[in-house]
């Protein structure tokens, strides 16, 4: 992995660890649902950490290839969550909608950081 890739990987792994730590603290504080929110967001960071690894493996020495692969997944995967969120809102399931919203929030954070590290505009 080059510098940018390492930075991104480091950020994602740090977020996974942070979510796990906060989750443990919330569990100990009897805040089960909020602990679950952290687990959900931690999973999202974990998914994109895996995607980054795959992107790098499939695009050796091709930084643009890694960027394209990663950004494509960053569009495709949250689109499913957005759909699920909209469906939940339609059926009046605000709780499920909130959970999908948490995934989207984490994905947005990943996208923002990726673009910052990669120097991608938009």
Partner 1 sequence: MTETEAIGLFKCLADKSRLQILKSLAVEDMYVERLAQRLDLTAATVSFHLKKLAQAGAVSSYKSQYYTMYALNRDLFDTTILDIVQEESEEADLQAQRDEAYRQHVLDSFFQDGRLKTIPAQRKKKRIVLQALVEQFEPQRIYPEPEVNAILARYHDDVCTLRRDLVGEGLLERDAQGYWRTQDET
- Residues in contact with partner 1 by CB under 8 A are 29-34, 37, 94-95, 98, 101
Q: Which residues of 43-53 are buried (b: 16+ CB within 10 A; e: fewer)?
A: ebbbbbbebbe
Is the CB of 10 or the CB of 32 nearer to partner 1? Answer: 32
DSSP letter string over 12-54?
HHHHHHHHHHHHHHHHHTT-HHHHHHHHHHHHHHHHHHHHHHH
To partner 1, the closest distance from the beta carbon of 96 in angstroms equals 10
Is the CB of 27 or the CB of 117 nearer to partner 1? Answer: 27
To partner 1, the closest distance from the beta carbon of 91 in angstroms equals 14
To partner 1, the closest distance from the beta carbon of 61 in angstroms equals 42
């Amino acid at each position: 992995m080059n510098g940018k890739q390492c930075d991104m990987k480091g950020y994602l792994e740090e977020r996974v660890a942070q979510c796990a730590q906060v989750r443990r603290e919330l569990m100990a504080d009897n805040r089960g649902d909020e602990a679950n929110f952290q687990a959900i967001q931690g999973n999202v960071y974990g998914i994109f950490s895996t995607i980054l690894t795959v992107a790098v493996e499939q695009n050796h020495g091709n930084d643009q290839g890694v960027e394209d692969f990663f950004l494509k997944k960053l569009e495709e995967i949250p689109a499913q969550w957005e759909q699920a969120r909209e469906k939940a809102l339609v059926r009046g399931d605000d709780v499920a909608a909130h959970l999908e919203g948490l995934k989207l929030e984490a994905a947005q954070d990943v996208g923002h950081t990726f673009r910052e590290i990669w120097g991608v505009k938009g």
